Amino acid sequence: MVKRDIDKGRRMADVFDYGSTAALKTALRSLHKLRLSAEQGCPTAQAILIDLKTALGEYKSDEVLGRVVVTDRQKEAIVLHLIDDRSLQETAQLLGVDPTAISHRVASGLKRMMHFLQTGRAA
């Protein structure tokens, strides 16, 4: 999903690499900081925050309505492990599954999010 930085006129893809798993993980781990920047009026942070929240299913847009970008299991693993900064083992204990399952859920969820953020369509 390509958004425009209103102040700069640049595509968000020029500011943030939605095709990189590492960049996406970093953005999710920094979600709290992104929220603060967005609240302070940073248009780039606002656009990235909207993109990430839409991909996580927190915002329902016309493009996503009726389609799931990430499953509930993927979302809870991503939120607990990346956003809440819990270890794989701790996340696995909280969800009652093996750490390997959490790793798989996070990886597959990130892949689905990247597809959506690049194309604007749920996989």
pLDDT per residue rounded down to tens, the chain (123 residues): 334 443 444 444 455 677 888 888 988 888 888 888 889 988 888 888 888 888 888 866 545 555 678 999 999 999 999 999 999 999 999 999 999 999 999 999 999 999 988 887 777
Give dist(CA 9, CA 4) in Å, integer.
6
Closest CA to 51 of 72, 67, 21, 31: 31
Decide: 112 and 74 in contact? Cβ < 8 Å: yes
Q: What was the pLDDT predicted at 60? A: 61
Q: DSSP labels for 36-73?
A: HHHHTT-HHHHHHHHHHHHHTTSS--TTTTT--SS-HH
Residue appearing with tokens 């999903």: 1
Q: What was the pLDDT predicted at 21? A: 87
Query: Which amino acid is located at 93 in the chain?
Result: Q
Decide: 15 and 44 in contact? Cβ < 8 Å: yes
Return the structure tokens found at 57: 């299913």
Decide: 2 and 92 in contact? Cβ < 8 Å: no
How many C-beta atoms surround the C-beta of residue 33 within 10 A? 11
Decide: 5 and 43 in contact? Cβ < 8 Å: yes
